[in-house]
Structure 1
Amino acid sequence: MNVLFLCTGNSCRSILGEATFNHLAPAGWRALSAGSKPTGQVHPRSLALLEREGIATEGYYSKSWNDLPVTPDIVLSVCGNAANETCPAYLGPVLRSHWGVDDPAHVTGTEAEINASFMAAYRILRHRIEQFLALPLDELKNRPAQLKAELDRIGVLLP
């Protein structure tokens, strides 16, 4: 099963989701990430945070949803609701859920405040991914309505 973490720029949240999911996922599950308007680079703070957490960063890059190597089975949009951010809608016959997370790339302030915003986004995503992976996935992957309900429930959880 392929899970797409989708946002606009594909530089922070979706990359954090993709890398964390792949770090924790069981065999047969794989995450990808993409953006509707990719920035073309992964935010250096995202890469530094993943490395501090012991998560591999090699091979992750900012890309368009038009450049995916496979069609996802599940799309998790991670755009936040702050700053009137428009979340892209992936078109295609896939299971969709919204896991809104505010974009740390737009936070201003001290180094500590900016780093804290990246850590907050990571913690939210990691908590939700852990909840997702704790589901009876073999059972739910054949029950899309129930899986969507679980993903929607998880999408509002905070650590």
Structure 2
Amino acid sequence: MKILILCTGNSCRSQMAHGFMQSFNKDLYVRSAGTEASGKLNPHAVKAMKEIGIDISHHTSDPVDQYLGDEWDYVITVCGGANENCPVFMGKVKHRLHMGFDDPSDATGSDEFIWSEYIRVRDEIKDAFSKFYKEEIEPEL
């Protein structure tokens, strides 16, 4: 099972989703990429995931172009920008889905509020991808 998770910068939401999917089943082939990959991970995203025992610090922020020639069972966009600007995977994707999440890096205010946004979005991603895994992926394995 091959799953590609897309976002705009590939530094936060797609990385969290990637980490969750890999934690649900180590045998899944999961990658994440960005339509405008930042080239680095968001340190708050890494910290938020580490807080619940998932290490994504070794992930890389990759441009989507490097995956365009591959075949995918699922391509999932996790932000509006990536959904609108997602390259067309002509005939190489069985299922294309969109699960939108707020970008916690856009949060402004106190440090506590900003951190709470990372936790909120992390937990929303966990819930959505856990449901997706149980309802869509597990039955296919």
- Superposition TM-score, scaled by structure 1 size: 0.76
How far residue 72 of structure 1 moved from its aligned partner, in angstroms, is 2.5
Greater RCO (Cα-Cα under 8 Å, separation 6 or more):
2
Contact 1:5 1:14 in 2 (8 A): yes
Q: Letter of the aligned partner of 1:8 in structure 2?
A: T
- CA–CA distance in 2 between the matches of 1:7 and 1:116? 21
Give yes or no for contact 1:74–1:96 (8 Å, CA) kept in 2: yes
CA distance in 2, matches of 1:121, 1:42: 16
Shift of 1:116: 1.1
1:39 and 1:61 map into 2 onto residues whose CA distance is 10
Q: Percent identity?
A: 26
Could you list the runs of 4 or more consecutive aligned residues of structure 1 that deviate by over 3 angstroms after TM superposition? 68-71, 136-141
- Cα deviation digits, residues 43-87 of structure 1 (max 9, x gap): 00011111111002242011101123953221110004xxxx463
State the match for 2:50 in structure 1: 51
Matches within 5 A, 1:3-152: 3-25=3-25, 27=27, 29-68=28-67, 70-80=70-80, 85=81, 87=83, 88-92=85-89, 93=91, 94=93, 95-135=95-135, 137=137, 139-140=139-140
Residue by residue, what CA displacement relative to the aligned partner does 1:93-133 show, whole Å, maximum 9, x if unpaired? 21111100011111111111111111111111111111122
Unaligned stretches of 5+ residues in structure 1? 142-159
Q: Is the 8 A contact 2:15 2:56 kept in 1?
A: no
Query: What is the aligned-residue RMSD (CA, Å)?
Result: 2.1
The structure richer in strand per residue is 2
What number of residue pairs does the alignment pair up?
A: 136
Partners of 2:38 and 2:16 in 1: CA distance: 15
SS in 2 for 1:75: strand
Give the whole-Å Cα distance in 2 for the aligned partners of 1:20 and 1:138: 14
Taking structure 2 as the reference length, the TM-score comes to: 0.85
Structure 2: runs of 5+ lacking an equivalent: none
Query: In the superposition, relative to structure 1, how do residues 138 and 52 fare at CA in structure 2: closer, same or farther (>3 Å)?
Result: closer
Residue aligning to 1:147: none
Whole-Å Cα distance in 2 between the matches of residues 26 and 47 of structure 1?
A: 19
Letter in 2 for 1:102: D
